């Protein structure tokens, strides 16, 4: 059950920049089939989360806990980099794509995303892949809600930048603590 809470918090922090929420908000504002777009987005996330969770659970049986903890630390550090990386909006023709093409595109673009990397790494530490995937889904949804409610312009507000920086700081500290724990320099890991 710890996996669900760890994944929820880690994925929510990793997505505090609102990249996915703003992208979905933009897509919903230009497409007429909003329900289909939401279902496609969530289905793509869930499918990738399940794959990451299964791979993480398999890794749990194959690698030691120290290596799994280092994997979690690396996943968190990559999320910090993604949070702090200044992204540019890439023009897309997703607003004109038929639903099947949109589904394929979302499935591929979410593959290997920071959320799924965290889900897989956390599943590797606990072996509870289903719980890590469920927690990741809830955390991802929570992180998207403000941007869906208030629009993509929220990303440029000062408060959003502060939340993004604070989330990066928390993930960085968590990653360092996990890495130090993996090497036995402090008690506990993940």
User: For position 155, what pLDDT does the model report?
Assistant: 87
pLDDT score recorded for residue 91: 52
Measured distance CA(128)–CA(154) in Å, rounded: 35
Q: Which tokens in the block code for residue 42?
A: 């969530």
Return all residues near 125 (Cβ < 8 A) that are at least 6 apart. 3, 60, 65, 68, 69, 71, 72, 189, 190
DSSP 4-34: HHHHHHHHHHHTTT-HHHHHHHHHHHH-S-H
Q: Which pLDDT belongs to residue 19?
A: 86
Residue 174 pLDDT = 94
Q: Give the 3-state secondary structure of 30-88.
A: HCCCHHHHHHHHHHHHHHHHHHHHHHHHHHHHHCCHHHHHHHHHHHHHHHHHHHHCCCC
**Backbone dihedral angles phi then psi of residue 64, each to the nearest 5 degrees:** -75, 165
Q: Which pair of tokens denotes residue 186?
A: 């402090």
Instruction: Identify whether the C-beta of residue 132 lies closer than 8 Å to the C-beta of residue 126.
Output: yes
Per-residue model confidence (pLDDT) at position 188: 53
Q: Which two tokens stand for residue 153?
A: 């312009």
Distance CA 40, CA 46 (A): 10
pLDDT of residue 1: 56
Could you tell me the pTM of the whole model? Answer: 0.85
Cα–Cα distance between 20 and 140 in angstroms, integer?
9
Going from the first residue of the chain to its last (190 residues), give the mean pLDDT of each consecutive group of 10, the final group possibly shorter.
84 90 88 90 93 91 88 92 75 74 86 87 88 93 92 89 94 94 74
Return the domain boundaries, the chain. Answer: 2-182
DSSP 94: T
Tally of CB atoms within 10 A around 54: 15
- Torsion sign over Cα 188, 13, 91, 89: negative
């Amino acid at each position: 059950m710890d996996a669900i809470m760890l994944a929820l918090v880690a994925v929510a922090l990793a997505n505090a920049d609102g990249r996915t929420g703003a992208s979905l908000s933009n897509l919903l504002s230009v497409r007429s089939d909003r329900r289909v777009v939401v279902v496609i987005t969530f289905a793509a996330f869930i499918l990738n989360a399940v794959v990451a969770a299964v791979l993480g659970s398999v890794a749990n049986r194959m690698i030691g806990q120290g290596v799994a903890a280092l994997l979690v630390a690396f996943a968190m550090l990559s999320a910090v980099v993604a949070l702090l990386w200044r992204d540019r909006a890439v023009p897309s023709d997703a607003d004109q794509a038929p639903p099947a093409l949109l589904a394929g595109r979302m499935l591929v673009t979410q593959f290997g995303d920071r959320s799924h990397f965290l889900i897989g790494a956390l599943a590797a530490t606990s072996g509870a892949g289903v719980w890590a995937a469920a927690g990741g889904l809830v955390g991802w949804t929570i992180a998207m809600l403000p941007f869906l409610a208030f629009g993509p312009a929220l990303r440029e507000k000062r408060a959003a930048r502060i939340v993004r920086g604070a989330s990066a700081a928390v993930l960085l500290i968590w990653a360092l603590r996990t890495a130090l724990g993996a090497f036995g320099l402090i008690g506990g890991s993940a």
